[in-house]
């Protein structure tokens, strides 16, 4: 069996578990975390006791109350969860090499020595579980995934919840994950799933057996080749210069769920994502919009473009995609909005365009304006200058 190099830890019902740890009266009871203290609000996290009744992220508070009599609601406390995240990270780093804090509830560790074997890794996981329980809290449990690279380790970490431990390698792939849908895999959006299916890739075994060069064509990026090679067990490290995209998504509070208000939140998300793109000195050649309806349906579309970092340009693409969504009639209430800037590369490596005309790595007029806006906002505060009307929706329940 090839050596295992990565251990991925996924905390189980992290927000609810923190609340149960701090209030022993909540232990063993169904708990849901909410962004808004209202029956019209939605659950953004749930304990496993609540999940057993069907309560999950996005479930309306009123529905959760009906589905799970006796459920306890607690408001989100972002700073508190971050403090527990850091406490767990400290434990992990004392027992292994903590290489990445992937999110508030996910951690990635590099393995060496005996821990690269299955038995050695199992011993390490047991030690970490015991230490986290003893030093941070017995309610704080995690599922662990083991793999030869970070992708397989992360997938393995999702296979057994709660408090599980699974591994993936060339020895048990792709059979071990053949039951998963394509978009169950991290990094496969609904739009990418549609693209794969149009290319004749209908399930996970077919994806695992895909020629990596074909994957590059489907993704329209080297990231497709990297993704398939990792599924096939190759150790391809994460590097800062190979970021796949910049994006933000937001679970909307009730007052923002009208589609017109959700559209304005989307404009704000575009401004945030493009500002981050420029801070990293990058350009994006694809823009995608995802709109999730309260009724359960999801609409997602993307469009390719000349690589740019111009906020006004991406806002025009954002508007065009919303128009496409409205084409068949006014959408219903919106529960979440997400924007994604993909096909990312360095501005310094962008080729020129004779038709504009534009020299290699030279900024367009729109990009120069965007950079000036960044400078003013850095001096006078975010939002001092905006690209027209938007609807800021600050809060913890966003990604990006």
Using the predicted structure, report yes or no on whether residue 11 has a pLDDT greater than 60: yes
* H-helix or E-strand spanning residue 298: strand 298-308
Averaged over 33-61, what is the pLDDT? 86
Averaged over 22-33, what is the pLDDT? 95
Q: Give the residue ranges of DSSP H helices in the chain.
A: 14-22, 48-51, 61-67, 78-95, 118-135, 150-157, 190-198, 204-208, 212-219, 222-231, 259-279, 311-326, 365-380
Q: What is the pLDDT at residue 328?
A: 79
C-alpha to C-alpha distance for 356 and 202, rounded to whole angstroms: 41
Is 124 strand, coil or helix? helix
Averaged over 51-57, what is the pLDDT? 92
Read off the pLDDT of residues 107-161 as tens digits, 9 standing for 90 and up: 999 998 899 999 999 999 999 999 999 999 999 999 999 999 999 999 999 999 9
Q: What is the pLDDT at residue 102?
A: 81
Using the predicted structure, report yes or no on whether residue 170 has a pLDDT greater than 80: yes
Q: What is the pLDDT at residue 395?
A: 52
Read off the pLDDT of residues 66-99 as tens digits, 9 standing for 90 and up: 999 999 999 988 888 888 988 999 899 888 888 8
Q: What is the pLDDT at residue 399?
A: 37
Q: What is the pLDDT at residue 36?
A: 67
DSSP string, 69-88: TT-EEEE--HHHHHHHHHHH
Q: What is the DSSP letter of 4?
A: P
Catalytic-labelled residue, pool 106, 123, 223, 225: 106
Look up the CATH number of domain 244-399: 3.30.1490.100
C-alpha to C-alpha distance for 222 and 110, rounded to whole angstroms: 24
Averaged over 32-43, what is the pLDDT? 77
- More confident: 238 or 213: 213
DSSP 3-state percent helix, strand, coil across the chain (nearest 5): 45, 20, 35
Mean pLDDT of the chain, nearest integer: 89
Read off the pLDDT of residues 270-291 as tens digits, 9 standing for 90 and up: 999 999 999 989 999 999 999 9
- Is the distance from CB of 141 to CB of 12 less than 8 angstroms? yes
Are β-strands 245-251 and 334-346 bridged in parallel, bridged antiparallel, or unpaired?
A: antiparallel
- What band does 238 get if pLDDT is binned at 50, 70 and 90? low
223, 201, 211: which is closest to 344 by C-alpha?
A: 223
106 annotated active-site: yes
Using the predicted structure, report yes or no on whether residue 400 has a pLDDT greater than 50: no
DSSP string, 354-389: TTTTB-TTPPPHHHHHHHHHHHHHHHH-TTSS-SS-
What are the residue ranges spanned by the domains of the chain?
A: 1-167, 175-231, 244-399
Q: What is the pLDDT at residue 44?
A: 86
Q: What is the pLDDT at residue 398?
A: 40
Q: What is the pLDDT at residue 29?
A: 96
Q: How many CA atoms lie within 13 A of 192 on its CB side?
A: 26
Contacts of 357 (CB under 8 A, 6+ apart): none
- More confident: 261 or 104: 261
Cβ-defined contacts of 371-374 (< 8 Å, 24+): 371/278, 373/311, 374/275, 374/278, 374/279
Cβ-defined contacts of 49-56 (< 8 Å, 24+): 50/16, 51/13, 55/30
Owner of token pair 């994950």 = 177
pTM exceeding 0.75: no
Is 310 strand, coil or helix? coil
CATH superfamily, region 1-167: Reverse transcriptase/Diguanylate cyclase domain (3.30.70.270)
Q: What is the pLDDT at residue 169?
A: 95
């Amino acid at each position: 069996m090839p050596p295992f190099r990565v251990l991925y830890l996924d905390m189980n019902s992290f927000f609810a578990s923190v609340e149960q740890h701090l209030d022993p009266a909540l232990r063993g009871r169904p708990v849901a975390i909410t962004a808004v203290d209202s029956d019209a609000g939605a659950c953004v996290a749930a304990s496993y006791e609540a999940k057993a009744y069907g309560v999950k992220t996005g479930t309306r508070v009123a529905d959760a109350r009906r589905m799970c009599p006796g459920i306890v609601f607690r408001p989100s406390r972002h700073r508190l969860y971050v403090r527990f995240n850091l406490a767990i990270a400290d434990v992990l780093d004392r027992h292994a090499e903590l290489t990445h804090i992937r999110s508030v509830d996910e951690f990635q560790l590099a393995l060496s020595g005996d821990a690269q074997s299955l038995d050695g890794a199992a011993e390490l996981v047991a030690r970490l579980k015991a230490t986290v329980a003893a030093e941070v809290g017995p309610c704080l449990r995690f599922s662990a995934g083991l793999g030869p690279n970070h992708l397989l380790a992360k997938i393995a970490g999702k296979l057994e919840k709660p408090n599980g431990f699974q591994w993936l390698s060339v020895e048990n792939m792709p059979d071990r994950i053949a039951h998963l849908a394509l978009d169950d895999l991290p990094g496969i959006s609904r739009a990418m799933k549609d693209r794969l299916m149009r290319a004749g890739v209908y399930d996970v075994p077919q994806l695992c057996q895909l020629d990596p060069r074909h994957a590059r064509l489907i993704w329209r990026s080297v990231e497709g080749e990297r993704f398939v090679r990792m599924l096939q067990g190759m150790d391809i490290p994460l590097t800062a210069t190979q970021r796949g995209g910049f994006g933000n998504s937001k679970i909307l509070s009730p007052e923002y769920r009208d589609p017109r208000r959700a559209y304005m939140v989307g404009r704000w998300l575009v401004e945030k994502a493009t500002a981050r793109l420029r801070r990293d000195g990058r350009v994006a050649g694809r823009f995608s919009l995802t709109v999730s309806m309260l009724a359960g349906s999801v609409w997602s579309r993307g469009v390719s473009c000349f690589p740019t970092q111009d906020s006004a340009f991406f806002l025009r693409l954002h508007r065009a995609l919303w128009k496409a969504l409205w084409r068949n009639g006014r959408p219903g209430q919106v529960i979440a909005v997400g924007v994604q800037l993909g096909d990312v590369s360095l501005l310094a490596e962008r080729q020129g365009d004779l038709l504009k005309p534009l020299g290699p790595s030279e900024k367009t007029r729109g990009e120069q304006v965007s950079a000036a806006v960044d400078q003013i906002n850095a001096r006078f505060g975010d939002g001092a200058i905006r690209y027209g009307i938007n609807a800021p929706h600050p809060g913890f329940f966003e990604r990006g």
